Chains A and B, each alone.
Chain A
Amino acid sequence: MLGVGASLSFGVEPDPVALAASPGGPSFIEYAGPVEHGLHAASTKALQDLGIPVLYHPSCLNLCGPHPNPEHWLTQVDAHVKAVGSAWLAQDVACCFVGNTPGYSIQLGYFVPPVQTRDALEEAVDRVMEVRRRVQAPLLLEPAPVTFVAGDMDIFSWLGELARRTGCGLLLDAGHVVSHQLVAGRELTEGLDALPLDQVVEVHVAGGVIEEHEGRRYYKDAHDLPVLPETWSVFRYLLEHCPNLKAVCVECEGSVADTVLPMLRKTRERVALGAANEALRLKAREELGQ
């Protein structure tokens, strides 16, 4: 049971190690970063010495799309997960690179979201199983944020089937869910029951912005801004309906350092009151010092 933690970047403020050492700091640190685990070895060791678990959440695997993940790339990811003792590997279901040379999603500007069709789903099963065969840690699938959708399948049905068929867990980002609901023109929690919510292991909550263009609303991630009320609504629903939830991560990259601890506290209060998983509720209360 990991409790309430924070997603941060090593080498930039707010400093993950300093925050983890602070009273009321994150109970775990989630980070992205290159597949070479040695780059942040000093920081991950410092966190381990503090007794703070780390979770590796890269943006370098194709979990959908026609471009396979090369064996050597998966070997490096597996080595990274093992080296830092990450309890699981999680990533957005998206395309991070095209062609035979693996890379990171920033080279495409951002994740390229999946085409939501039956054929693309079959392809995604292949991609996910490539990873599952090589990386010896549980894999959590996260829906990427979107401002458009291609395909005729609903994302929750698509993702739910992908998770069931590959035996993966799920990581649901409340803001990313908002993005899908706005694009689909649905209510904030509509259709979420198409997902195997008992397979949700981690939930993200983060700042964002809703923009209006041509009479329609679109959500964009903005981790430096406060969490939107719409995101809190989805977050509450997920807390109440995910019985096996083990970790809640507040995404704080780019945030002002002074806002992180109050944000963690606010999130813990919500978890302590609303989580369906009693063990998680107790952990949150313990983190609050109750």
Chain B
Amino acid sequence: MSTATQHAFLVRLLFDEELRDAFFAEPEATASREGVPPDDLEALKTIDRTGFELDAAMRRDYLMSALCRAYPLSAAALGSLPGGPRRLAAFLTSPRLLADPSTRSEAFGEHLARLLSFGTLMPPVWDGLVESILAFERGLVREAAALRRSVERGDPVPTVKRKPGPGPMALPAFSFAVELPVPTALIKGALDQVSAESAWHHISSGRLSSQRLLTVARADPLPVTLLARATVVGVPVGSVVDVTHLTAELNGRRAAFFAGLDGTRPLSDFPRSELPALERLIEAGLLETR
């Protein structure tokens, strides 16, 4: 008897809904198909299904709540589609569920991207909106993970400078910009004011409407640019690095402008009409002069 095989199968059953259905319908056949010897199966055959499903549901809700926290809008959008919650929760069968939290969060973003690429049966304009939301949320996760890895490697913790200086202006490290066709307030409004903390609760309730988001996607464009920067909160303790994001939502399409900040031009080089906005971004810690 291999406790390792038995234990591994038990853990898979806790996270894989399809495997669970198959197992409780035909325990011997399912175990055999999965390479679980009869001896290892004995202790699992007497499990009360109702109690097991309760445990699996609690675990699923906890983990999905944690995963969706980093992707509230894109997860809510994909979760609003028919079968959405189940497709989102399919991530729980991924081996990367058991990776460290940063890697797991990035992997969940890839899962959402894959769901989008499989086709949503929604018009392309809906897909395009969700793609841009997902790009922003994945950017937040990516930069936070990169900042954590940098600190864990022993690199100096970047300081947030908020005063304009004479040196050239640049986008600070661990920053990025993404354009959306409409303001985030409209997107959140269409998705029932979903938040990081409430995302999975909203999704699993089945009350979100993909059609409301489609209305927003089909509306006259009101493009915005989201600028974000990952920063360390407090002092890192060992491997515990607390990261947050400074963010700003600007009217218009400005991603190319920020991408072009190559750290060679001082603030004074920019048109006077733009200086107040650029100075505000510097004071907010989202741009810096070197």
Q: Which residues of A contact B (CB under 8 A)?
A: 34-36, 38-39, 65-66, 95, 97-99, 101, 103, 106-110, 112, 115-117, 119-120, 123, 146-152, 183, 211, 213-214, 216, 218, 220
CB-contact partner of A147 in B52, B62, B104, B238, under 8 A: B52
Query: In the complex, are the beta carbons of B54 and A115 less than 8 A apart?
Result: no
Q: Does B149 make an interface contact (CB < 8 A)?
A: no
Q: Which A-B residue pairs are the 3 nearest by beta carbons?
A: A109-B59, A148-B51, A36-B238
Give complex CA distance A89, B44 in Å: 31
Total interface residues in chain B, CB < 8 Å: 33
Q: Which of B50, B101, B239 contacts A213 (CB 8 A)?
A: B50
Give chain A nearest CB distance to B95 CB in angstroms: 10
B residues with a Cβ closer than 8 A to A are 1, 3-4, 6-8, 10-11, 14, 43-44, 46-48, 50-52, 54-55, 58-60, 62-63, 66, 98, 100-101, 104, 237-240
Instruction: Flag if B238 contacts A148 (CB, 8 Å).
Output: no
When distances are taken between beta carbons in the complex, the residues of chain A under 8 Å from B63 are: 109
Evaluate contact between A216 and B1: CB separation under 8 angstroms: no
B98 lies within 8 A of A148 (CB): no
Q: Are A218 and B51 in contact (CB under 8 A)?
A: yes
A202 to B3, CA, bound (A): 30
- B100 x A101 contact (CB < 8 A): yes
Q: Which residues of A contact B47 (CB under 8 A)?
A: 148-150
Complex CA gap A159/B7 in Å reads 18
**Cβ B238 vs Cβ A38 within 8 A:** yes
Contact status A66-B3, CB under 8 Å = yes
**Given known contacts A39-B240, A66-B3, A95-B7, A148 and B55 CB-to-CB distance under 8 angstroms:** yes
Starting from the known contacts A66-B7, A112-B14, A148-B48, 9 additional A-B residue pairs (CB-CB under 8 Å) come to: A36-B240, A108-B14, A108-B59, A109-B14, A110-B58, A112-B10, A115-B6, A149-B47, A150-B47
CB-CB under 8 A for A34 and B59, given A115-B10, A216-B48: no
Q: Which B residues lie within 8 Å of A106 (CB)?
A: 62, 66
Are A98 and B55 touching (Cβ within 8 A)?
no
CB <8 Å contact, B238 and A150: no
Please indicate the chain A residues that have their CB under 8 angstroms from the CB of B98 in the complex: 97-99, 107-108
| Pairs A–B under 8 Å by Cβ, sample size 30 | A38-B237, A38-B238, A66-B4, A66-B7, A97-B98, A103-B100, A107-B98, A108-B59, A109-B58, A109-B63, A115-B6, A115-B44, A116-B43, A119-B1, A146-B51, A146-B55, A147-B51, A147-B52, A147-B55, A147-B58, A148-B51, A148-B52, A148-B54, A149-B47, A150-B46, A183-B51, A214-B50, A218-B54, A220-B54, A220-B58
- Give Cα distance in the complex from A110 to B11, angstroms: 11
Smallest CB separation, B240 vs chain A (Å): 5
